[in-house]
Structure 1
Amino acid sequence: MKSVSRWILLLPFAVIVLAIVVQSLADASMQVVRHAVFDQYQRWQPRAYVEAPIRVIDIDEESLTRFGQWPWPRTLLARMSARLTDAGVAAIGFDVMFAEADRTSPRAIADLWRLDGGLRRDIEALPDHDQLFSRQLAQSEAVLGFALTRSGNDDKSPARKAAFVNLGENQIAWVHGFAGAVPALPELENAARGNGALTFVPDNDGVVRRVPLVLRQGDLPLPTLVSESLRVAQAAPVIFLRSAGHLQQMTGSRDNAGLGEIRIGELSIPTTPQGEIWVHYSGHQKARTLPAWRVLEDDAALASLAGHIVLVGSSAQGLMDLRFSPFGLVPGVEVHAEALEQILTGHYLERPAWAKGLEFAALVAGGLLAGFLALRTRAMIAAGACLLLMFAAGAGSWLAFTDSRLLIDPSLPLLGILWSFALCSLAHHFITERDQRWIRTAFARYVSPNRVAHLLEHQEDMALGGQRRTCSFIFTDLAGFTSLMEGIDPARAVALLNDYLDGMIAIAFRHEGTLDRIVGDAVAIMFSAPLAQADHCARALACAQEMEVFARDYSRRLIDQGIPFGATRIGVHAGEVIVGNFGGKTMFDYRALGDPVNTAARLESANKHLGTCVCVSETILAEVPDAEVRPVGKVVFKGKTHALAVFETLGPSSAAGRAPLDRYLTAYHALVADPAAATRLFAELHGDHPDDRLVAMQHRRLQDGQGGDLIVLADK
């Protein structure tokens, strides 16, 4: 058992290894869990909205109602740009694609209507809308957008207005790459101050959790709408890409993979290795948004926009610029705006490079502790400790999010702690159950098995006290064992006695008797306690008869070997007693108290005076009327005043030398009816069957002048 226990202590380590293997093989699934945790944190504590110089010019449903369906004429967008520029905005970022020519331009209308002649010349002489828009873009701090595609080729590349400088090793391979691009019209791109990608890189579940500041087409780094808007607003010509390795030299960080920071003008922005920032959503804020129709019609609405970066986009559902966030669907332009707000207010969510190491350490420490506690302590203590460890892991992750805005994933430590506790608790349960079986088996060598089983099911019966119950009792004793001890080696005598007792007790247990006690070579068995047995008298009688057969055979085998092993005497009686636990608080004993117990012991002892081996009382036979017995007489034990009818069982092992039952019964009935005839009949029986000791006892009584069936015993 000790070796097994030592091996089982390796189980927590095995569970930790299993958790690590599962995490590595099911990384995508674990990432889903991790993202679900971080999303819930955002829902519990969204970013507190802080006034920042960022506004969204929303082409909402009301604006479409006022100015017509999308796409609007570029002249209208030029007018909007002019009004925003006059209002003194720092940059205008268009979260809108201008990949095709304006369909409302004069030339496009002439082609659509298939005009010719003078009317076509007059219409074509009107200003082109894209030209008007490009001229206005040239006078504004405008940033246009382009889309990157996974498929296609790199023949079309957007105009890059920003220069990129690597600080440290070039880590552009870490940046999300795309094959093709859908740029704006060349004349518009050339006129604008900046050009940024509108492309998001959502996770596998479609949720946008990070916004890239740099993307790449092939090996060419490209800015995004967020980074380009910041560059144009600051009139910064260069975007610096600082590698994590270069950042290590400055901060002492050990991470040397991917990007670590992007610098735009006066802003130093910590990023993921892929050049992204985690978005901490604040949710929709009215203060952040200005309807497009107010920009076009309400001069007062423009007064507060000086120095702001404004993003032009749409929340109208029909335009389909909606993205999934932890809060549900949100306009894509708001995602860009929230990222800009975080940068300008210095509010960053970070998943530091050491997060995985910390999570791994928490997994190992928490899992091992939970496992060892489950193996070595009580279930309630282990369960409480497991809950405490899980709470600590969850609370630590939550506090890291709320206090330091760090994204530490508690899911792997939580799963490791839970798995370790569950599997180790299961192992502990199996070990405990095995030990209990072993203890039950061992305990059953001291206490009757039915008593052990009853106590396990009815622990309330462990209390001191007793109850009245009618039970049956068997008392046995081995004649001549003291002399045997003197005649052979004591160790040999003890071994023989143990074999004898083992056989006798096994018989009692087969009949579902309860071992009351063993006193030397004597055994006391009771029936109908602790579990009530309606047929306890029949059980006791059958048990006694089987014991008598076993004892005769065991004695005969030893005698054949030259070992004088004595005969076994058995007494069987039943009656009402007090059954229960008696003793004190320190120790108690389960037994029966009452006169029937003493009477059963007296019956066992009476065998040596009566010449019998098994004496059964009339109380037993009243419940087993068809038992094969012959009457002994009405016995008055020493110290008693009332006689008890006693009978001898007629087992097959004692048939040799026994008088025929019919002749014995004739002689016995004559004891009262005709003493003279009884004397003659028992004399004849004794002469014919001298080995029948009961007949010999009756003959001796009659010769001594003791007629009748009343037998008074002078000795115990």
Structure 2
Amino acid sequence: MNGRLTRWAWWVPLGALLLGLALVIASPVPLRTARNAVFDQFQRWFPRPYEAPAVRIVDIDEESLRRVGQWPWSRAQVARLLEALRAQQPASVSLDIMFPEAERSSQARAGGGDVEDPDRMLAEEVRRGRVVLGLALTGSAAQAGLETQAHQAHQANEALQSKAGFVLMGGDAMPSLPAFSRSVSNLPDLQAAASGQGAMTFLPDVDGIVRRVPLLFNLQGRPVPSLAAEALRVAAGQGHYRIHAAEAGGGVIDLQVGTRVLDTDSSGALWVHYGRAQAGRSIPAWQLLEGRVAAGALRDQIVLVGTSAQGLMDLRFSPLGGVIPGVEVHAQALEQIVSGQQLSRPGWAPAAEWLVALLGGLVVGVVAMKARPGRSSLVLLGLVGAIALTAWVCFRYQRLLLDPVPPWLVMTLVFAPTTLLRHRWAERRQRWMQATFSRYVSPNLIRYLLAHPQALELGGRRQRCSFVFTDLQGFTARMEAMDPAVAVTVLNDYLNGMVAIAFRHDGTLDRIVGDAVAIMFSAPVPQADHEARALRCALEMQAFARGYVDALQRQGIAFCETRIGVHSGEVTVGNFGGDTLFDYRALGDPVNTAARLEGANKFLGTSLCVSEETLQACPGAVARPIGRLRLAGRTSFLMAYEGLGMGPDAAQVDADYEQAFALMRDGRDEALPAFESLAAQRPQDGLVAFHRDRLRAGCRDDAIELSMK
């Protein structure tokens, strides 16, 4: 980069850094979604360990509905369930269900009767136990502004009879709590009898997953505890909460219930560290009703009554994957509080993340401006890995939620444009080199040399490759009979077409000698499917050559047939051009074998001869067996085939030929009549005529001697 570019180029990483830091402060939805995805992954790697149960769920499951009856159960039945729970002496019982209206049977008896009112039975049982009732919050904060303040206050007082007091410490926490305008509560007699009332409301993230459980809500300017908070308060025998808030509207710092201090975010929500499903966490309701739970099994435990039955639709998405009952979300939040395994996202975390993003962005920007792409990429990956590891260690061992996404975002935003700017002149030179030399050398070889300039040095390596050799039959004699200008034009168009096909299949041009073309696959860039690439390339070349002959024939120009040989094997590839010439090619017997197979076509009556070595690695290829060839200069036989097609559009297998060939291979006397019959049916089939003539000459199998090149 020249001096003038350097003066203004530093504004690129600086501008990207400022943009990234601004995005971190704004915290748009995609950034929060990425953060949640990271925290979810941490939870999947390390779910909260399950300790001895201190929180239990009484589950109104499918079996309970089958045994007791469909929901809703009668209030008398619920009262019997509470009675059975009270006998267990739990610390508190919280109902994740509501009773906002009188039971219909109660309404029918409102005028009098001898049967006890089931709503009154339930209220009496609620009064005897330490029971927390659930309530629902509805109406957004925006809707609240449409009502008069007097009506709001009246509605809130009518809907909710608070059982807990609140001690506010520090600033005003109310503006930061989730705000609602209305509530739906239980019957007044039930509210009066209950030891506590808590909101069952969840606030899932945009993807529907419940990651945080609010412990406090804002109902018309009044604090309302959640069901989990009330379950904890009643179990602790406390009458109030202490809300510690930051000054100047900074939000909630923590919530104190008795001696327990609960770490919350600024909105008063608790991050839930989910554990795996545990059989000991739940007790089916029917077992309590039928007396099958041992006495004292729930003594001094926090009990939540809810449902996992799918038909009752109280299911929530979990960060661990799948859905869980809503009551289990409350239970998991309480478990981590009681067991001392709370997740915490400290108030200083966003500022620390912003600072790390700033420092990381500065380091990446300076390195990207100074170093090569490889080195700067390693620095970026190293910083990304270090930040990710730090966040994971803090989660795993300290239960701290530190977000690695803001530093990742800032460093990536700085790295990408800076690296592009830093190397734009080098890229221009590379594009010029590729555009210039790709007309003479294979594009994949140019790309390889640009990425691996050391390949220009002398040396080689052993590698398995595939080779396609082509030649024009009798072109030298044909060229002498043609006008030189026409001959050159015709040959150049032919070679351009053949080379273009090779490049489309990512072949490397090994050499062009007159009218002969040699193509190499899997060098310099290894290709796992190089055999299939070579055969597909050869088949397309064959189709092009035939079409080219037909097109010239329509113009009154006679052209030559193309012969093609394909073979695979291990060769030495590298630069063999000496100190002054770059000549990247392959050396080894497979190269010579491919050339011999090309030449064998003129004796065999074929135009595309492919070895068994190549064909075995070409699924979907269709070919006819030619026989075992002993090529010139070789002592061993090589099985060869005539390639017919490849892929879904390939020709059908030549069953008649295969049958005749099998007879010949086995030395059967019926082979000659079979090939005589095929030759009569196919006078243009050169391979059939070749085998017929061999059999007439006394040959008895598929071993073919080719002494001429």
In the superposition, the TM-score normalised over structure 2's length comes to 0.58
1:84–1:302: 8 Å Cα contact kept in structure 2?
no
Q: In the TM superposition, what whole-angstrom CA distance separates every residue of 1:38-65 from its partner, at most 9, and x where no partner exists?
A: 1111112111111242100000000000
Distance 2:27 2:197 in 1: 39
Q: In the TM superposition, what whole-angstrom CA distance separates every residue of 1:297-341 from its partner, at most 9, and x where no partner exists?
A: 124434310101110000000111111221231111001011111
Q: Which residue of 2 aligns with 1:169?
A: 171
**Which of these residues, 265, 276, 285, is aligned with residue 272 of structure 1?**
265
**Which of these residues, 204, 219, 228, is aligned with residue 230 of structure 2?**
228
Q: In the TM superposition, what whole-angstrom CA distance separates every residue of 1:406-426 from its partner, at most 9, and x where no partner exists?
A: 111111211222232222221
Q: Which residue of 2 aligns with 1:146?
A: 135
The answer as to 2:52 corresponding to 1:51 is yes
Where do 5+ consecutive residues of structure 2 fail to align? 435-448, 460-510, 515-575, 583-709
> Secondary structure at 2:334's aligned position in 1?
helix
Sort the Cα spacing of 1:81 and 1:200 in 2 relative to 1 into closer, same or farther, 3 A.
same
1:352–1:406: 8 Å Cα contact kept in structure 2?
yes
Q: Which residue of 2 aligns with 1:87?
A: 88
Q: Which residue of 2 aligns with 1:211?
A: 213
The answer as to 2:296 corresponding to 1:314 is no
1:91–1:233: 8 Å Cα contact kept in structure 2?
yes
2:174–2:218: 8 Å Cα contact kept in structure 1?
yes
Q: Which residue of 1 aligns with 2:325?
A: 331
> Secondary structure at 1:301's aligned position in 2?
coil
Sort the Cα spacing of 1:192 and 1:44 in 2 relative to 1 into closer, same or farther, 3 A.
same
Distance 2:303 2:455 in 1: 79
Q: Which residue of 2 aligns with 1:414?
A: 408
> Secondary structure at 2:97's aligned position in 1?
strand
Q: Residue type of the partner of 1:191? A: A
The answer as to 2:340 corresponding to 1:346 is yes
Q: Which residue of 2 aligns with 1:509?
A: none
The answer as to 2:299 corresponding to 1:298 is no
Q: Which residue of 1 aligns with 2:255?
A: 262
1:59–1:312: 8 Å Cα contact kept in structure 2?
yes
Q: Residue type of the partner of 1:336? A: H
Q: Residue type of the partner of 1:82? A: E
CA RMSD of aligned residues (A): 3.2
TM-fit CA distance, 1:237: 1.1
Q: Residue type of the partner of 2:325? A: P
1:367–1:417: 8 Å Cα contact kept in structure 2?
yes
TM-fit CA distance, 1:23: 4.1
Q: Residue type of the partner of 1:303? A: G
2:217–2:225: 8 Å Cα contact kept in structure 1?
yes
Distance 2:402 2:68 in 1: 48
Q: Which residue of 2 aligns with 1:617?
A: none
Q: Which residue of 2 aligns with 1:443?
A: none
Sort the Cα spacing of 1:437 and 1:157 in 2 relative to 1 into closer, same or farther, 3 A.
closer
Bigger Rg over Cα: 1
Q: Which residue of 1 aligns with 2:543?
A: none
TM-fit CA distance, 1:146: 0.8
Distance 1:200 1:341 in 2: 17
Q: In the TM superposition, what whole-angstrom CA distance separates every residue of 1:60-84 from its partner, at most 9, and x where no partner exists?
A: 0000001000111111111111121
Q: Residue type of the partner of 1:37? A: V
Distance 2:64 2:70 in 1: 9
Q: In the TM superposition, what whole-angstrom CA distance separates every residue of 1:218-238 from its partner, at most 9, and x where no partner exists?
A: 111111111111111122111
Distance 2:30 2:326 in 1: 27
**Which of these residues, 419, 439, 442, is aligned with residue 425 of structure 1?**
419
**Which of these residues, 384, 394, 400, is aligned with residue 388 of structure 2?**
394
In the superposition, the TM-score normalised over structure 1's length comes to 0.57
The answer as to 2:372 corresponding to 1:378 is yes
Sort the Cα spacing of 1:287 and 1:580 in 2 relative to 1 into closer, same or farther, 3 A.
closer
Q: In the TM superposition, what whole-angstrom CA distance separates every residue of 1:106-137 from its partner, at most 9, and x where no partner exists?
A: x43x69xxxxxxxx96xx32100000111111
Q: Which residue of 2 aligns with 1:242?
A: 244
Distance 1:341 1:402 in 2: 18
Sort the Cα spacing of 1:82 and 1:378 in 2 relative to 1 into closer, same or farther, 3 A.
same
Aligned residues: 442
Q: Which residue of 2 aligns with 1:126?
A: 115
Sort the Cα spacing of 1:274 and 1:589 in 2 relative to 1 into closer, same or farther, 3 A.
closer
Q: Which residue of 1 aligns with 2:351?
A: 357
2:24–2:354: 8 Å Cα contact kept in structure 1?
no
Distance 1:268 1:434 in 2: 62
Sort the Cα spacing of 1:459 and 1:292 in 2 relative to 1 into closer, same or farther, 3 A.
closer
2:93–2:132: 8 Å Cα contact kept in structure 1?
yes
Q: Residue type of the partner of 1:86? A: A
Identity rate, percent = 39
The answer as to 2:198 corresponding to 1:196 is yes
Q: In the TM superposition, what whole-angstrom CA distance separates every residue of 1:219-267 from its partner, at most 9, and x where no partner exists?
A: 111111111111111221111112235xxxxxxxxx9711111111222
